[in-house]
């Protein structure tokens, strides 16, 4: 049972991050180590270093890494029962972190950022773990970032209930 009409803006980003943490490929790409475990992408306090449930990375980031940011917006409230929720995922890579070491990442094509995008879409597109319908990829586009970084934005849509107290 939901607490408010806007639970998705709190719940969905964390649920997406939890789902991404199940992907060995993504964890390996973030840690630059194909056999990485979740501990390889956590800080000393057990917090994830490269994934955030908000739409930015700190401007003072000095580490050459890749990052995943997740946010949720409500784009349309059609009626008292259904609303349209958009799930936004940003994959941000330092330009010096784009190239993959082919001796470590055998069989991978392309660059790190695009591979992370590919594996996120493999996890999320069509997933029925959110809302009342399957997540559907709406678009993928480049995003503008400071000069040392490059990024892609994935936008997914999912219909969700619009009434407090209605089970999802």
Residue-wise pLDDT for 81-93, tens only, equals 667 789 999 999 9
- Residues 75/64, Cβ–Cβ less than 8 Å: no
- Residues 164/148, Cβ–Cβ less than 8 Å: no
Query: How many CB atoms within 10 Å of residue 44?
Result: 6
- C-alpha distances out from residue 20 to 16, 58, 73, 122, 158, Å: 6, 21, 19, 10, 18
Please tell me the predicted confidence (pLDDT) of residue 103.
Answer: 95
* Strand residues in 57-135 grouped as ranges (E): 66-77, 82-94
Pairing relationship of beta strands 136-143 and 66-77 according to DSSP bridges: unpaired
- C-alpha distances out from residue 4 to 8, 81, 95, Å: 9, 13, 41
Residue-wise pLDDT for 86-118, tens only, equals 999 999 999 999 999 999 999 999 999 999 999
The topology under which CATH files domain 8-161 is STM4215-like (3.30.2000)
């Amino acid at each position: 049972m939901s607490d408010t009409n806007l639970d998705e803006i709190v719940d969905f980003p964390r649920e997406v991050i939890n789902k991404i943490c199940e992907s060995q490929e993504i964890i390996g790409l973030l840690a630059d180590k194909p056999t990485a475990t979740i501990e390889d992408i956590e800080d000393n306090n057990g917090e994830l270093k490269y994934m955030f449930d908000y739409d930015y990375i700190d401007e003072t980031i000095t580490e050459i890494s890749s990052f995943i940011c997740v946010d949720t917006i409500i784009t349309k409230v059609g009626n008292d029962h259904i609303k349209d929720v958009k799930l936004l995922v940003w994959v941000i890579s330092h330009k010096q972190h784009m190239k993959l070491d082919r001796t470590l990442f055998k069989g991978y094509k392309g660059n790190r950022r695009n591979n992370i995008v590919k594996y996120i879409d493999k996890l999320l597109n069509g997933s029925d773990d959110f809302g009342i319908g399957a997540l559907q990829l709406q678009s993928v586009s480049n995003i503008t970032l400071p000069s040392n970084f490059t990024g892609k934005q994935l936008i997914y849509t999912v219909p969700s209930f619009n009434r407090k107290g209605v089970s999802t």
